[in-house]
Amino acid sequence: MCDTEECEQVNPEPFHRLVVLPQPHSVYIGEVLPQKAPPASRPGELGVLLRFRGLGTSALGTLLVIATAGAATQSADKSDSNGYVGNEACAKCHASIYESYKNTAMARASGPAADNLIAGDFSHPASGVNYRIYSDASKVWLSFDRPGDASVHGKRELLYYIGQGRRGRTYLFSVDGFVFESPVNWYSDRHMWDMAPAYGSAREIPMTLPALTSCLDCHVSGIQPPLNGTENRYKMPVFVYAGVSCERCHGPGAGHVNGGPIVNPAKIAPDRRDQVCMQCHLEGNAAIERAGKHLYEYRPGDDLSDYIRYYLLLDSRSPNLRAASQFEALAPSTCKKKSGDAMSCTSCHDPHRSVAAEETVLFYRAKCLACHGAELGTKHHADQPDCAHCHMPAALSSDVAHTEVTDHRIPRRPTTGPKLENSGPPTSPQLVTFPYSKDAERDVRDLALAWQSIVDSGMTVEQSQAQKLLRQAAVQFPNDPAVLSALAYAEQKQGANDRARELYRKALALDPNLIDAATNLGVLEAQSGHLGEAVKLWQGAFQRAPGRSSIGMNLARAFCATGQTNDARNYTLRVLQFNPDLTAAKKLLSGLNADPPKCAP
């Protein structure tokens, strides 16, 4: 069983992309925890060391068969049934806009991997792995190899690229229909290949970075929702239209091509106008999907807050600029405060065309002088026409390596400017909704999930605040599986296992597809001696998420401990199919292949 000497927590990784918390994070059971683990694929993973002793085969009871990635039922209608027609349909009447827009960064934000391929080689010193991105026989490949380690040698076919290449680019590959991000990215500002964000010091190849809708949604159009019960298994193709299509800003066009109306963001209410851009250019510290809703279901003209709520963490530290959060930076700027609703993204940006490099300075100078007046241009540093150089300087992104972002706070002087928050330094951290609304302020459900998200990102000192709000939310929303799962996870970390077990069971009764809840409940069942129940829970979770190596390792160790070494070997091989450089799995496989087989090397 698990006692105080055999349990420890793994420090959670920092967030590096949009955070949407549908449920809490998985508990890991392992025979041996590595001395220094690379960042987990999900923040806030709780590490627990559990040894199985004296268990016979009968302890497992009736077991399920080895899980495989079988077909699942798609949870949403096909994209074309939603009224989307694609950019080419728009070109028939809007030819000039179509021609200029297709060369913009948004239009080229994703596509087939072979389009504009950025080929190259990269050696990662920390892990000793050599990577290569190349094309061969009309296909694009990522190969990986660690000299002297025969177990780390292979390749993945790259299917899509994400990122038009101005800032950077990553690629997607599929294993058994489950889609993952490449472990290496191209960083355009530095003109170099490097590891994916947060994995620069990883000792193992991060091959199981799930391609989640929260990331894909802002780079593709007509995204296929994950197949029922999974987080990253999609019906192919993953998306219907490459890049950010016209309809991502104007809404479905099927009715319009037949003479009906279509959304023009410039002609709708200012808050709805701004939300069209906000869906991808506001990140915040936490982003919580509303109950029963998903961000990818948002349509221009809808109220974005019906789908997702964003939260900013206000504290005394200097604010940092994130790669995709221009909205929160612009809001406290003097320009926005004085202009109010009259100022929007399109006051300075033309979404239908890219400005040529040689035109950039004069183009944006004209935008500034349109408000500040031509007279200012003749008096205020007339010899320096580049307004943005001083008032919107580039700075390193706080969340994406090797990447610079433009400072949308528009400081009066390059070294100063308004903080991202509007108030003075608070005495303790505060989590506030952005944009502010009374409804959001009163919503304890989303605020509780946001605080738990912040705690899981590393601010563990706020666990009591998160737990207090989650308990309030569970009273108000007793049938909300996300709330119940998050509270169960918080209780489990505090050692209140009976309460956690009760909450997990209730959450799973409401939504049997909760991967983390099933995994964590399995841990509690195993710790209580109910290994058969634990195995059933883990098998279902691992079938829906075979990229979650910790679940597969739980199963492999459970079977090995009961003498079922063939099943243990099969699960270990399944783990290595997705995560070929996982040291714990390689060591376990070595032990299982010994004569006689053993559960530890």
In a domain, 131, yes or no: yes
User: At residue 235, does pLDDT exceed 70?
Assistant: yes
Query: Which pLDDT belongs to residue 16?
Result: 26
Q: Which residues of 401-430 are buried (b: 16+ CB within 10 A; e: fewer)?
A: bbbbbebbbbbeeeeebbbbbeeeeeeebe
Measured CA to CA in angstroms, residue 209 lies from 39, 425, 547 at distances of: 11, 36, 8
In a domain, 407, yes or no: yes
User: At residue 225, does pLDDT exceed 60?
Assistant: yes
Query: Which pLDDT belongs to residue 399?
Result: 47
Question: Which single residue is written with the structure tokens 């998985």?
Answer: 26
Q: Higher pLDDT residue, 356 or 483? A: 483
Q: What are the pLDDT digits (tens) for 72-117?
A: 333 333 336 689 999 999 999 999 999 999 999 999 999 999 998 9
In terms of Cα–Cα distance, which of 111, 425, 384 is closest to 244?
111
Which of 424, 459, 493 is a domain's end point?
A: 424
Answer for the pair 454, 469: CB distance below 8 angstroms, yes or no. Answer: no
In a domain, 124, yes or no: yes
Q: What are the pLDDT digits (tens) for 446-497?
A: 999 999 999 998 888 899 999 999 999 999 999 999 999 999 999 999 999 9
In terms of Cα–Cα distance, which of 55, 27, 37, 31 is closest to 561?
55
In terms of Cα–Cα distance, which of 365, 399, 310, 377 is closest to 13?
399
Query: Which pLDDT belongs to residue 38?
Result: 37
Please tell me whether residues 236 and 95 are part of one structural domain.
Answer: yes
In a domain, 317, yes or no: no
Rounded distance between C-alpha atoms, residue 579 and residue 440, angstroms:
40
Answer for the pair 208, 547: CB distance below 8 angstroms, yes or no. Answer: yes
Which of 213, 245, 277 is a domain's end point?
A: 245
Please tell me whether residues 231 and 373 are part of one structural domain.
Answer: no
Which of 385, 404, 424 is a domain's end point?
A: 424
In a domain, 279, yes or no: no
Beta strands 46-49; 110-112: pairing state: unpaired
Answer for the pair 208, 574: CB distance below 8 angstroms, yes or no. Answer: no
Residue 313: both structure tokens together: 């963490």
Q: What are the pLDDT digits (tens) for 184-223?
A: 999 988 899 999 988 999 999 999 999 999 989 999 999 9
Please tell me whether residues 241 and 360 are part of one structural domain.
Answer: no
Single-letter residue type at 366: A
What range defines the domain where residue 362 resides? 345-424
Residue 82: both structure tokens together: 């939603």
Q: What are the pLDDT digits (tens) for 527-540?
A: 999 999 999 999 99
Please tell me whether residues 228 and 367 are part of one structural domain.
Answer: no
Query: In terms of pTM, does the model score above 0.95?
Result: no
Which uninterrupted H or E stretch holds 442? helix 438-442
In a domain, 494, yes or no: no
Question: Which range, of 7-16, 153-162, 226-235, averages the lowest pLDDT?
Answer: 7-16
Count of the separate structural domains present in the chain:
2
Please tell me whether residues 94 and 215 are part of one structural domain.
Answer: yes
Q: Which residues contact 149 (CB under 8 A, 6 or more apart)?
A: 128
In a domain, 444, yes or no: no
Please tell me whether residues 113 and 228 are part of one structural domain.
Answer: yes
User: At residue 130, does pLDDT exceed 70?
Assistant: yes
Please tell me whether residues 228 and 91 are part of one structural domain.
Answer: yes
Rounded distance between C-alpha atoms, residue 369 and residue 382, angstroms:
12
Percent of the chain at pLDDT exceeding 90: 60
Query: Which pLDDT belongs to residue 511?
Result: 97
Query: Which pLDDT belongs to residue 40?
Result: 37
In a domain, 527, yes or no: no
Rounded distance between C-alpha atoms, residue 511 and residue 505, angstroms:
10
Give, rounded to a whole angstrom, the gap between the first and last alpha carbons of the chain. 21
User: At residue 25, does pLDDT exceed 80?
Assistant: no
Query: Which pLDDT belongs to residue 320?
Result: 55
